[in-house]
Chain A
Amino acid sequence: MILASFWVNQSGSIWLFVKLILAFIVPLAIFYGIKDASPGVRRAIIGATFFLTGLVYVLYLIWPKPIHRQPNEIPQNFSESVGFFVSDTVPVAADVANIVATFLLGLGVFSVIKIHSEKLARRHRDWPFSLVLIGSMLLMVIFGYWNYYLKNYTPAGPSLGNPANWTFPSFAEDFLFNGLYQQMEAAMFSLIAFFILSAAYRAFRIRSIEATVLLGTALLLVLRTMTVVSQLWADAPFVRDHPNMQLESIAKWLPNTFQSSSIRGVDFGVGIGLLAMALRLWLSLEKQGQGA
């Protein structure tokens, strides 16, 4: 039997079953190995896993990529074999990361339920909020899955795309998600407008030269949006002779030329810092939790 790729096997083949069993046993073995190992060994296992997984992505960046690759194509030399293997491994590694993340989401939900159940049970301060949270969570899960079941596993499912055919679960889910949750999210977002005002008031108070420059710049940008002021400015004799001094031009020049160059400088620093951090993590040079 010829294998097109390590990650692809024929349906019903022995290799497929062997790999499936290995895929089940190996992570369990690693899990129990980590659980019972001493901290030093645990760190070594985690470091090795980190390095191997990271290596796939590093090779994906620097190894020549297969060009114009066809399905079931045979690699012709070592370089191609590695290229094919790496290209096929990246989606698998991403899938594994997604599966682990899904398990962790369960832990997150467990944390929320645990904290708020305890609050409820012991009648801690503000326990009604916890009641609302747990109640909302349960309702959303019940109606979400109920509606999902109706849509996907019943004969009436396809017709539920049309609100005219909705039944109680569809209405309930729509009310909870679109009617309540989305509106509350929009309300939280709109609060930002008021917060911007209060933050701007504090920031623009003239306390220093920097604050004064900030105030002047902000003022120019605000005035630009006021048509009356823009027009009066444009009609000024000096501005008529120098179009570059129009409020519109200045307001564009500030963010496009003056600000973007500074932000790019900051972005370079952030990018290089991120790369350094990732490199330290990949090579297990970062002693997380003890480092700082």
Chain B
Amino acid sequence: MNILIAADWGNQYTDTGWFGIFVTLTVCTFILVNIFRSNQRTAKGGQLYVRRIQGLNAIDEAVGRATEMGRPILMIPGISSLGPVVVQALNIFSYITRIAGKFATPILLCCADAATYTVAQETIRDVYQTEGIGDKFDQDSVRFISDRQFAFAAGVSGLILRDQVAAAFFMGDFYAESLIFAETANSVGAIQIASSTQTTQTPFFIASCDYVLIGDEFYAASAYLTRQPVLTGSLVGQDWSKIMVALLVICGALWTSFDLGIFHRNKTSIVKKDSQWQILPAPRRVKDSDTFMSHLFNPQSDPALQNTIHRETLPSLTTESGQ
């Protein structure tokens, strides 16, 4: 017997479960619309404005210093596995490699993840070939050190000390090893530019490095450096999204304050439980969990609804095959 209640399908959207998906799709729309706008504007000869980022301006200075000293440039794309963060770090590193390659300055790119190592090697080789200096590419300049956190830290620290790097770029996901890298590089007098998407590590970088890209400046880097319309458009889309988030925060704070009343004095006689409103035996003071914003960000599911589903099933595979 098949009983399928239409409302059951899509139970994840009941209550306020749709809100997270709605916000995600809105952010995606902002980004795509702005990429389109940016392409249009570039076609007409215009360009979107990107504010000055000091840490990125210092890249040329750091590479120039390494060139003058004849010492290598160290680049580390964090210790996370291959993903958007690492790809963004490699984007920045390919820009650095392009400048370094022009002056035949040696580079060292150390990876803690095998997949990152493979992609990094191809990326750097591609940069050298695009610049017409493929013969200058040293395969050993991109290295896999270890996928264990502190073995990697020890390996990179050893390289910094032995090769006396002149400039160090730490971009990506870093954890406890961040300070080991930064302080070791500082001890050999290297100019350091760092950025971590891990907010817990940013203070360590700020304390020990010369320049730090904070938060989403890391993602703005490739747009800032190349001014490609797709990247600048995406950056403007991110800004729109941040404005939306800021408005949500402000409205949410006001709404919650209104729900709670002055000094949390408002009272309620109904509460939402299992996505249904229920009347309380006696009114009580409004709790944080009773507010609209709390409901919006903590969707409730109805267990009773889930138990109503009875669908047809196949005979089990093992029974059918006679095992």
A199-B204 contact, Cβ under 8 Å, with A189-B150, A272-B216:
yes
A115-B126 contact, Cβ under 8 Å, with A189-B176, A276-B234:
no
* B216 close to A64 (CB less than 8 A): no
* A74 close to B314 (CB less than 8 A): yes
Q: How many whole Å from A140's CB to the nearest CB in chain B?
A: 11
Which of B85-93, B259-267, B268-276, B283-291 binds A? B85-93
Residue of B nearest to A100 (CB): B115
A residues less than 8 Å from B57 (CB atoms): none
The CA-CA distance from A272 to B182 in the complex, in Å, is: 27
Which of A26-34, A168-176, A226-234, A277-285 binds B? A277-285
- A237 sits at the interface (CB 8 A): no
* A274 close to B117 (CB less than 8 A): no
- Interface-central residue, A115, A265, A288, A289, by most chain B CB under 10 Å: A289
Residue of A nearest to B237 (CB): A276
- B58 sits at the interface (CB 8 A): no
- Interface-central residue, B2, B314, B321, by most chain A CB under 10 Å: B314
A275-B24 contact, Cβ under 8 Å, with A192-B179, A292-B225:
yes
- A155 sits at the interface (CB 8 A): no
B residues less than 8 Å from A288 (CB atoms): 87, 90-91, 123
* A104 close to B114 (CB less than 8 A): yes
- A21 sits at the interface (CB 8 A): no
The CA-CA distance from A62 to B85 in the complex, in Å, is: 23
Task: Choose one: A80, A115, A184, A191; the contact of B9 (CB below 8 Å).
Answer: A80
Which of B43-51, B238-246, B292-300 binds A? B238-246
Task: Choose one: B154, B179, B323; the contact of A196 (CB below 8 Å).
Answer: B179
A2-B214 contact, Cβ under 8 Å, with A266-B199, A270-B197:
no
- B54 sits at the interface (CB 8 A): no
Residues of B within 8 A of A (CB-CB), count: 98
B residues less than 8 Å from A184 (CB atoms): 150, 154
- A154 sits at the interface (CB 8 A): no
Q: How many whole Å from A288's CB to the nearest CB in chain B?
A: 6
The CA-CA distance from A200 to B235 in the complex, in Å, is: 34
Interface residues on A, range: 35 or more
* B162 close to A126 (CB less than 8 A): yes
Residue of A nearest to B222 (CB): A292
* B208 close to A273 (CB less than 8 A): no
Interface string of B114-130 (1 = CB under 8 A from A): 11011000110011001
Name B9-50 residues within 8 Å CB distance of A: 9-13, 21, 24-25, 27-28, 31-32, 35
* A188 close to B215 (CB less than 8 A): no
The CA-CA distance from A231 to B289 in the complex, in Å, is: 37
- B158 sits at the interface (CB 8 A): yes
- A101 sits at the interface (CB 8 A): yes
B residues less than 8 Å from A108 (CB atoms): 111, 113-114, 117-118, 144, 147
* B208 close to A203 (CB less than 8 A): yes
* A274 close to B85 (CB less than 8 A): yes
A residues less than 8 Å from B214 (CB atoms): 266
A125-B321 contact, Cβ under 8 Å, with A74-B313, A292-B221:
no
- A24 sits at the interface (CB 8 A): no
* A111 close to B316 (CB less than 8 A): no
* A199 close to B207 (CB less than 8 A): yes
- A94 sits at the interface (CB 8 A): no
The CA-CA distance from A238 to B86 in the complex, in Å, is: 52
Name A23-56 residues within 8 Å CB distance of B: none
A residues less than 8 Å from B144 (CB atoms): 107-109, 111-112
Beyond A112-B143, A185-B151, A274-B197, 10 additional contacts (C-beta under 8 Å) are A4-B314, A71-B316, A76-B4, A107-B144, A112-B144, A189-B150, A203-B207, A269-B242, A290-B130, A292-B95
